[in-house]
Structure 1
Amino acid sequence: MTSVAQYFKSTSVLAKALKGFAPRPAQTEMATAIAATLKAKSQLVVEAETGTGKTYAYLVPILKSKGSAIISTGTKALQEQLFHRDLPALRDAIAPQKQVSLLKGRSNYLCLHRLAQSQAHASELSTTVQRQVVEVKRWAARTEDGDVGGLNALPEDAEVLPHVTSTVDNCLGRDCPDYDDCYLVKARKSALEADIVVVNHHLFFADMALKDVGFGELIPHVDALVFDEAHQLPDIASQYFGESVGSRQLQELAQEAKVLYLTEVKDLRQLDKAADKLLGSLRDWRLAFPVDPQRGNWRQAQQQPQVAAAIALVSEALTFFTEVVKGAIGRNQDLDTVYERCVQSLHTWEMLQETQRTGFSFWFETTPRQVTLHQTPLQVADKFGSYVANSEASWVFTSATLAIGDDFSHFTRLLGLEQAATLCLPSPFKFSQQATLCVPRYLPQPHEVGMLEHLIQVTTQVLDVNKRGGTFVLFTSHRMLQRVAERLETLTDRPLFVQGSTNKRELLADFIAAGNGVLLGTSSFWEGVDVRGDALTCVIIDKLPFGSPDDPLLQARIEDCRLRGAEPFTQVQLPPAVIALKQGAGRLIRDSSDRGVLIVCDQRLVTKPYGQLFLASLPPLKRTRNLTQALNFLAEINGETPA
């Protein structure tokens, strides 16, 4: 039998089948280690830096193994790239008999029953949504898989989508009249029959935490699980092992009940009154908070008199609404489902008022119109670690950013991976020749008033030199992003792309097409963004990405760390900041021919002792404190003689 390493030689079938394929020692080492992990039914954590070719390194051993596998990715975009581009090319070359399936969360699939309901009750919908329902109906006639990602005629966040997709709450399951034609059911059936299923982390944990049904029958039977972009797992796991309830989901319950009153149970006037009472109490609850969106400690907030009064009103209205719906059980299938959701929502609501329990962070967040309560566990290591240890499958976790320096203990501790082997693979790129890291001298501290002016000054100096290439300016807060965006609009005629002005995919495509644009982004642009060549030759980072001290979840983790006798800064605050900076810096050099400049506008990188930990975790870029030197290198990249 051919060893996995043979597939990565210059004379292999892969080299012949894949354009541009070239042997990489680190890629071969990773593939060999994964093959051994699959054989031993063990666990492996791999940091594979940019350029290693980690995708092929895990796909080849998975395709050549005899068992079934789940591959979980960090985003739906990466999930689709893997399924539509990377997997087919490899499978055709080395394992054409393997069946591969793509599975997304239920909100990604058209629900035929919900579409029929929206058409029947179109008069209750806004004019915009009515037009979009017509567009969805046209698309429904020609789609094969029902994946709303293929609904190109509408924006990604189209208002109609909640009306034509289902949630675990409103799905009728086998009682649905359209069950036999259900796209979600078909996708799950395909996944059950496949050798390899491509999912994303949110879907995996939604199932593992039993927040959904149907997908769970897949996991116990697979022989291997691979998590790409695994650095995201601890936070995502915390979300799904927690609980939340918000005004939006309660409003949807009330609105659905009002529609059913108007169409199906017209004699049940009390249902309409109970729904109106609940809607009114939810509006009052939002008004109990400041107008500007915020996140805060729920334990503290619920003690405020105006918030406590609003909570009491919602509790009363939700209890009354549930009792009224209960009185109509058996009259209508959709109303029966509303009752089940009422019971669950009321249970979660009451649980989230009991904030004296330990081991959790209780926090709230508001948007201009909504409030959501959250209960998040402070650690998931016991739950996830025991799940992994008790399974008979192989587990592989990989990302470009998992280690702090060469130490994986932060990641393995958070997920309880006590038995996992670790492997750290360097990039083949020649970073010291391809890129320069600059921490400019004489900058104020990040919190000081003058920081905005200095950041503007650095950015405009870069734009004066980087005329042919693109520039990323990455921020740790939306507030600073907006302030810089306002100023730059008057200071440059370069194409300016600001996060939030349109969806991420479109913004990035327009930035790449511009060639010499300036993109201003926050957290979602620090990772999972791949821009090669001259379209991105400079990345500016405003400051080290420590979590906000006002974040209630961070505060709770710090307090929990203190109670355990550990040091919060080194255990809780520092590691995720190091990982985040590695991710942001990783946007710059994506190919062996890329060149560029990374500018970090935070003196702490060189003046604080912990700065060495950040520097040790970054690629070995050429370093300078002299901004002029960095700009001269940028001028050279732009084909100009340095000043």
Structure 2
Amino acid sequence: MAEAVAAALEEGDTLVVEAGTGTGKTYAYLIPALLSGARVIISTGTRHLQDQLYHQDLPVVRQALNAPVRTALLKGRGNYLCRYRLQATEQDGRLSSREQVAELRRIRVWAGRTRRGDIAEIPDVPETSLIWPRVTSTVDNCLGQDCPQLADCFLAKARREALAADVLVINHHLFCADMAIKETGFAELLPGAEAFILDEAHQLPDIATHFLGRSLSGRQLSELGRDTVVEQARDAADFADLRRRAEALEPAILTLRQALGTADRRALWREVAGLPAVVEAIAQLHEALDRLREALKEGAPRGKGLENCQRRGEDLALRLAALTGEESNLDNVRWFETRGRGFTLSLTPLDIAPKFQERLTAQPGAWVFTSATLAVGQSFEHFAARLGLRDYAGLRLDSPFDFAHNALLYHPPDLPDPTSPRYTAALLEAVLPVLTASRGRAFLLFTSFRALREAAAWLVDRLDYPLLVQGEAPKGVLLRQFRAAGNAVLLGTASFWEGVDVRGEALSCVIIDRLPFAAPGDPVVQARIESLRQRGEDPFRYYQLPHAVITLKQGVGRLIRDVSDRGVLVLCDPRLLTKSYGRVFLDSLPPMPRTRKLERVRAFFAGGDA
């Protein structure tokens, strides 16, 4: 792999590499990148992987090679403390709980000593805390060159370091935000780069799709109202009408949330667009936003903060019109999501390949895409088509781990069709003896929260091992508890199918309930299927099947993480053996013995060879 990456960097080629678990793909691209003498931008899937790459892997390789390269880490602006917004939040003083007050105090103490301002440095304020949006900036509310705290801006400092680096580590969200021209200040980094290496590249199509669309959330509107109140108190205390109009925005936001229905839901916008309550709520929101924009236009000259609020108000009004007005472009799908007290309206492109291809053409140099899961069978056709890759070299490298002796694939016999209402109960009956044989030490991965909740209720009185359930604690806490227990059973959905690394005996069994086909009721999936049909293409063959194969490979990849790991993979879905497409899934998995006999599973856990 290192030789192939070195050749691509040398020739300025495009390379797609699937490197199975244990290949050492990070070292395989870091070594040629550091030796190439080129300016290289490395992008990975998540902030956690970005930190690991920058703080652990990169220093090891740089020291081993004795390579005098300058490196830098750059994240999206929401990952850096904003001193201006911290000060504004402290002056405003209105927080919704004592917990937030305590968190704000911790952030203030940390702000006095941090050098980077990276919010990952402060573990005693959770990533999910509602205090973070109050003390970090977005592209909407950043004052940029007009900020009075610009000289001490952590984001500006990180960007200066990035400009001077030979090797820069970013993440896909930042990469795609720039591609969509939504992130100012990063674009200037790109012209100087001679090579791009995109790790965890299987995530790229979905992340790019998100960033190339448009969205508007209730939270963005609420933040505009709240920030206007703060800036009015600071720079226009005599302009009471501005405050009243800002505060009038919140009831209009709540009215729209209620009109969209009380349940959590994702659906096509056209399903609700004509409902009288929704039509009325949209009209009220437009009116409240227009009244606020009028006042902001008058107040903007009073201060940079109010000027910024005026710009945001104009942008949000344009987005609201685009997302709720007449539908004009069939290449996009409009949909909405409600969750808790919030909502998001979205417009998503159905095909990002042309845009992505434009980016590659506009940025000459080497492009390397790598992941443990990019191929369907032996082919990269699905991945390449989604990104519009044409002239590329492909390389598939199997995992060096000994699946033939250290793993066993078990298909429980006699399960009903997955569409049956008794499927999950039958599945649990079938896997309970497996959990007894494995002495816990298992992940149960589900394709839906509904099945997960049913399983949690069913297992709670039947299991002799600690039961950990996604949603009952943060993901990181659950994984620490799982490793520490040594015999736990963890139930998880999508977020546990990838990016989770549990080595050793604590994880000796991975059970997957169904083939992970994307939910056909999901609005974006639904629209893609309709679009492919209209073009005369088979949506199952070209989209649903390959997408499910790659997702299944991610889930399977949780089992064997090291050379000495042993374990049983349980694939419950009977369609693997009864449908012709089952062979496509099985041919994409590492070669391992397969059985339908529970006795072989028991013998394996008793110490036998697979």
- What range describes the TM-score normalised by the shorter chain of this pair? over 0.9
Hey, what does 1:49 align to over in structure 2? Answer: 20
What is the match of residue 8 of structure 2?
A: 37
1:86-123 deviation per Cα after TM superposition (whole angstroms, max 9, x unaligned): 11011011143101111111111111111111221224
Q: Answer whether contact 2:202 2:383 (CA < 8 A) is retained.
A: yes
Matched, 1:511 2:482: yes
Superposed structure 1 runs of 4+ greater than 4 Å apart: none
The CA distance in 2 between the partners of 1:562 and 1:290, in whole Å, is 31
Alignment partner of 1:345 is 2:319: no
Give the corresponding residue for 2:585.
614
**Aligned residue among 546, 550, 554 for 1:583:** 554
Say whether 1:183 aligns with 2:145.
no
Q: Which moved more, 1:487-496 or 1:52-61?
A: 487-496
Contact residue 63 and residue 95 of structure 1 kept, 8 A: no
2:193 aligned residue:
222
CA shift for structure 1 position 264 = 3.5
Residue number among 79, 97, 112 corresponding to 1:141 in the alignment: 112
Aligned partners of 1:67 and 1:61: how far apart in 2? 10
CA contact (8 A) 2:179 2:359 kept: no
% same residue: 48
> 1:566 maps to what in 2?
537
Return the alpha-carbon distance in structure 1 between the equivalents of residues 304 and 591 of structure 2.
Answer: 62
Tell me if structure 2 keeps the 8 A contact 1:43–1:421: yes
Decide which of 48, 62, 67 is 1:77's aligned counterpart. Answer: 48
The answer on 1:549 being equivalent to 2:513 is no
Q: Is the CA contact 1:188–1:215 (under 8 Å) kept in the aligned structure 2? A: yes
Deviation for aligned residue 1:262: 3.9
- Which is worse superposed, 427-436 or 234-243? 427-436
Q: Which segments of 5 or more consecutive residues in structure 1 lack a partner in the other structure?
A: 1-29
Partner of 1:458: 430
Say whether 1:623 aligns with 2:590.
Answer: no
SS in 1 for 2:191: helix
What does the per-residue CA deviation read over 1:332-386, in whole Å, with 9 as the maximum and x for residues that have no partner? 2211111110111111111112323210011100011011111010011111112
Matches within 5 A, 1:451-490: 451-467=423-439, 470-490=441-461
1:253 corresponds to which residue?
224
Q: Which residue does 1:3 correspond to in 2?
A: none
Match of 2:184 among 179, 198, 213: 213
Secondary structure in structure 2 of the residue aligned to 1:539: strand
1:368 to 333, 337, 340: 340
Correspondence for 1:231 among 179, 198, 202 = 202
Query: Counterparts of 1:96 and 1:589 in 2: how far apart (Å)?
Result: 33
Correspondence for 1:99 = 70
1:632 aligns with 2:609: no
Q: TM-score, normalised by structure 2?
A: 0.97
Distance 1:113 1:149 in 2: 19
**SS in structure 1 at match of 2:348:** strand
Partner amino acid, structure 2, of 1:231: H
Q: For 1:188-246, what per-residue CA distance to the aligned partner results, in whole angstroms no more than 9, with x for missing partners?
A: 11111011011110111111111111111111210110011101111111001000001
Whole-angstrom distance in 2 between the partners of 1:144 and 1:255: 29
Gaps of 5+ in 2: none
Report if aligned partners of 1:108, 1:165 keep a CA contact under 8 Å in 2: yes
Shift, 1:426, TM fit: 1.4
Q: How does 1:120-135 map to 2 (within 5 A)?
A: 120-123=91-94, 126-135=97-106
**Secondary structure class of the residue paired with 1:587:** coil
CA distance in 1, matches of 2:247, 2:86: 25
Counterpart in 1 of 2:270?
299
Which whole-Å CA distance do the structure 1 matches of 2:7 and 2:377 have between them? 25
Which of 343, 358, 365 is 2:330 aligned to? Answer: 358
Q: How many residues align?
A: 609
- Deviation, structure 1 residue 260: 3.1
Q: Is the 8 A contact 1:474 1:542 kept in 2?
A: yes
Q: In the alignment, what sits opposite 1:446? A: 418
TM-score (norm 1): 0.93
Aligned to 2:172: 201
- 2:42 matched to 1:67? no
Structure 2 CA distance, aligned partners of 1:204 and 1:346? Answer: 27
> Alignment partner of 2:461: what SS?
helix
SS in 2 for 1:397: strand
Residue 462 of structure 1 and its aligned partner are, at CA, apart by 2.2
Mapped to 1, the partners of 2:391 and 2:82 lie a distance apart of 43
1:124: how far off? Answer: 5.3
Counterpart-to-counterpart distance in 2, 1:155 and 1:427 = 35
Query: What SS class does the counterpart of residue 519 from structure 1 fall into?
Result: strand
8 Å CA contact 1:156, 1:503 repeated in 2: no
Shift of 1:263: 4.3
Alignment match of 1:268 (pick from 239, 253, 257): 239
Deviates more, 1:56-65 or 1:351-360: 351-360
Give 1:442's aligned amino acid.
D
SS in 1 for 2:341: coil
Distance, in Å, in 2 between the alignment partners of 1:280 and 1:430 is 60
- Say if 2:434 and 2:601, in contact at 8 Å, map to a contact too: no
Mapped contact 1:64–1:95 kept (Cα < 8 A): no
Letter of the structure 2 residue corresponding to residue 417 of structure 1: L
Tell me which residue corresponds to 2:381: 409
Residues 88, 230 of structure 2: 8 Å contact kept? no
Counting only pairs closer than 5 Å after superposition, residues 484-503 of structure 1 correspond to structure 2 as 484-503=455-474
Give, in whole Å, the separation in 2 of the partners of 1:299 and 1:510.
44
CA RMSD of aligned residues (A): 1.5
Measured in 2, the distance between the counterparts of 1:350 and 1:185 equals 33
Q: Is the 8 A contact 1:386 1:416 kept in 2?
A: no
Shift of 1:493: 3.9
Tell me the distance in 2 between the aligned counterparts of 1:245 and 1:61. Answer: 42
Name the residue aligned to 2:282. 311
Task: Return the alpha-carbon distance in structure 2 between the equivalents of residues 202 and 75 of structure 1.
Answer: 8
AA of the residue aligned to 2:173: H
Change (3 A) 1:454 1:337: same
Give CA-to-partner distance per residue, 1:273-317, whole Å, 9 cap, x none: 222322111111011122220100012221222212211111121
Q: 1:594-625: CA deviations, max 9, x gaps?
A: 11001011000110000000000011111112
Q: Is the 8 A contact 1:110 1:183 kept in 2?
A: yes
Instruction: Tell me which of 593, 612, 616 is aligned to 2:564.
Output: 593
Q: Which moved more, 1:146-155 or 1:488-497?
A: 488-497
Quote the offset at 1:501 in angstroms. 1.9
Q: How far apart are the structure 2 equivalents of 1:196 and 1:70? A: 6
Q: Secondary structure at the match of 1:221?
A: coil
